[in-house]
């Protein structure tokens, strides 16, 4: 521990002496602490933050230009297209959904038929397995 009488700086006002005594007392503590895992991770975080800031600063003009084009050109064009063709899009989407639902029902009916008549399929396979084998594999 450092005592004021040891420093005797109140009378001499010798700041260099104070620093020398403090270095003697605590010298190397900061370097030791700086090499701990915790502080190496903090330095790594600071380096990443600086890299992000540098990249962000470099990309800012390009991003501002992109956002300006999106707001002034792209979004209005999409809005205009939807206004002019919205009814057509709804009709096409309705037909597509109906087709998908119809296909789903057809697949369901095929599987329901096979499940209902599985005994016939099994018996046919046992009696004549060649009907389930492609001639391309023979």
- Mean pLDDT over 86-112 rounds to 95
Please give the tally of structural domains in the chain: 1
Q: How many Cα atoms are found within 13 Å in the side-chain-facing hemisphere of 26?
A: 7
Q: What is the band of 96 on the pLDDT scale with cuts at 50, 70, 90?
A: very high
Global pTM reads 0.40
Enclosing domain of residue 116: 36-137
Angstrom distance (rounded) from CA 76 to CA 20: 70
Q: What is the band of 110 on the pLDDT scale with cuts at 50, 70, 90?
A: very high
**87 is a domain residue:** yes
**127 is a domain residue:** yes
**40 is a domain residue:** yes
**88 is a domain residue:** yes
Tens of pLDDT along 10-33? 555 677 777 777 777 777 777 777
**22 is a domain residue:** no
Q: What is the DSSP string of the chain?
A: ---HHHH-HHHH--HHHHHHHHHHHHTTHHHHHHTSHHHHHHHHHHHHHHHHHHHHHHHHHHHHHHHHHIIIIIHHHHHHHHHHHHHHHHHHHHHHHHHHHHHHHHHHHHHHHHHHTHHHHHHHHHH-GGGGS-GGG-
**122 is a domain residue:** yes
Angstrom distance (rounded) from CA 64 to CA 71: 10
């Amino acid at each position: 521990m450092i005592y004021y009488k040891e420093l005797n700086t109140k009378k001499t006002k010798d700041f260099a002496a104070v620093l020398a005594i403090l270095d003697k007392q605590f010298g190397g503590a900061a370097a030791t602490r700086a090499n701990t895992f915790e502080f190496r991770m903090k330095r790594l975080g600071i380096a990443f933050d600086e890299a992000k800031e540098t990249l962000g600063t470099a990309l800012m003009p390009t991003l501002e230009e992109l956002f300006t084009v999106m707001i002034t050109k792209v979004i209005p064009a999409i809005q205009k297209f939807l206004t002019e063709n919205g009814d057509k899009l709804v009709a096409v989407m309705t037909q597509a959904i109906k087709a998908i639902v119809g296909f789903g029902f057809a697949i369901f009916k095929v599987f329901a038929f096979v499940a209902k008549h599985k005994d016939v399929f099994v018996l046919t396979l046992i009696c004549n397995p060649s009907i389930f084998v492609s001639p391309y594999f023979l």
